[in-house]
Amino acid sequence: MNAPATGLTGPAEPAAGPRDVVLRARDIRVEYDGERPTRAVRGVSFELRRGEVLGIAGESGCGKSTLAYALTRMLKAPARMTGGSLTFRTREGEELDLLSLDDEELRTFRWTRLSMVFQSAMNALNPVTTIGRQFGDIFRAHRPDMGKDERLSRTRALLEMVGIDAGRTSSYPHELSGGMRQRVVIAMALALEPEVVIMDEPTTALDVVVQREILDEVERLREELGFSVIFITHDLGLLLEISDRLAVMYAGEIIEYAPAEELATRAAHPYTQGLLRSFPDLTGVRRELRGIPGSPPDLRAEPPGCAFADRCEHAFDPCRSSAPRLLDLGRPGGPWTAACHLNDPGHRSAAGAPTTEGRQS
């Protein structure tokens, strides 16, 4: 179990025992059917520990959202999961194989164990009924024993928990600001005290100040309630700050998996370095700013080598011919893995290529 996951693009097992792992994904593969299927997620593995924030970063079209839908088993045709396994370990210590749950089991599993805050969630509320009724629906569906008074008092408590006046239960969504609607949606996701919350770009449409308020709120609630978060966004700067560990996705694969705190200064994969460069630091020294030229590859065809090779300034011979595997870099504070030939001792000397270590200034 503790051997590096050879053949998978997922990270090696963390040093922590399996006990505090709440969600384990192994070699998840998702395709969008078509004449030539688009392989949107290509063998992703990771482990989410209880109470931690796992950040997933990457540009549009790298498979972040598709992965989130796969984790919640919400993929709809033409998307199809073609491989992998998903194990959820409940608070009570029961192991659930998510892929074998039937519809009814899924219905009870979702929201009570795992809930999701969707992209542009502020538009996720029903415009024609009040906030209170929408909370009521959740409890009627999942907690049929709850009485009317209890539903209302629980709704009021949830709203206050995210910093909204409890009197707002009778408000309609359009009477709230974007930031307030976002808080409502987060309160809904937490309504049944789930163990894992997946947040897919929950704050991208909001102002910086409001965004910051909501993230602080999530952080406070997480400390209070102890749920785990999978936080998906393209905003790497934000992820570095809020997550414990970070997975960077490119072309449907995790290409680097590292402790968030150190990633900013020691990113091992050229793509991660490029993403980091794409966000100028507010107070840092002025420097030449550039993004990552080019665009992600067409996932309908299997890239012969590294999927990032065409955009990579450090690409050398092996990058075009063989796909790099996620290798443990053996750094302290790990697991820290990266899928890049530059970090593979076997290639490094042969090519005379510089290591990526310490390039980030």
Partner 1 sequence: MTALEVQNLSVDYAQAHGRPFRAVHNLSFSLEAGRTLALVGESGSGKSSVLKALSRLVRPAEGRILLGGRDDVRGREYRRAVQMVFQDPFASLNPSHTIDHHLRRPLLATGRARRGAPADQAVTELLGQVNLTPAADVARKRPHELSGGQRQRVAIARALAPQPDVLLADEPVSMLDVSIRLEILNLLDRLKRERDLALLYVTHDLATARHFSSEIMVMYRGEVVERGPSDEVILAPKHPYTQLLAAAAPSTGATREQVREGRRVRQAARAQRDAERREIVVGDGCRFRPRCPFAMDSCVRRPPEAQVGPAAGGGSGHGALCWLYAEGAGKAPAATVPQQKPAP
> Site residues (CB under 8 A) for partner 1?
59-60, 163, 178, 207-213, 216, 219-220, 234-238, 240-241, 261, 264, 274-284, 286, 289-293, 295
Residue type, 341: H
Nearer to partner 1, 197 or 238 (CB): 238
Backbone region of residue 262 per phi and psi (left: phi > 0; alpha: psi in -120 to 50; beta: other values): alpha
* Shortest CB 289 distance to partner 1, Å: 5
Q: In angstroms, rounded to a whole number, what is the distance separating the alpha carbons of residues 174 and 156?
A: 19
* Shortest CB 286 distance to partner 1, Å: 6
CB-CB contact of 152 with 83 (8 Å) = no
Nearer to partner 1, 295 or 321 (CB): 295
* Shortest CB 287 distance to partner 1, Å: 9
Nearer to partner 1, 212 or 320 (CB): 212
Nearer to partner 1, 128 or 208 (CB): 208
* Shortest CB 311 distance to partner 1, Å: 9
Nearer to partner 1, 137 or 213 (CB): 213
Nearest of 82, 77, 174 to residue 125 by alpha carbon: 174
* Shortest CB 34 distance to partner 1, Å: 18
Tokens describing residue 252: 């449907």
Nearer to partner 1, 211 or 228 (CB): 211
Nearer to partner 1, 163 or 303 (CB): 163
Nearer to partner 1, 12 or 264 (CB): 264
* Shortest CB 270 distance to partner 1, Å: 12
* Shortest CB 274 distance to partner 1, Å: 7
* Shortest CB 187 distance to partner 1, Å: 16
* Shortest CB 111 distance to partner 1, Å: 28
Nearer to partner 1, 5 or 267 (CB): 267
Nearest of 289, 266, 283 to residue 361 by alpha carbon: 266
Q: In angstroms, rounded to a whole number, what is the distance separating the alpha carbons of residues 137 and 45?
A: 35
CB-CB contact of 268 with 357 (8 Å) = yes
Helix axes 178-189, 208-225, angle to 10 degrees: 20
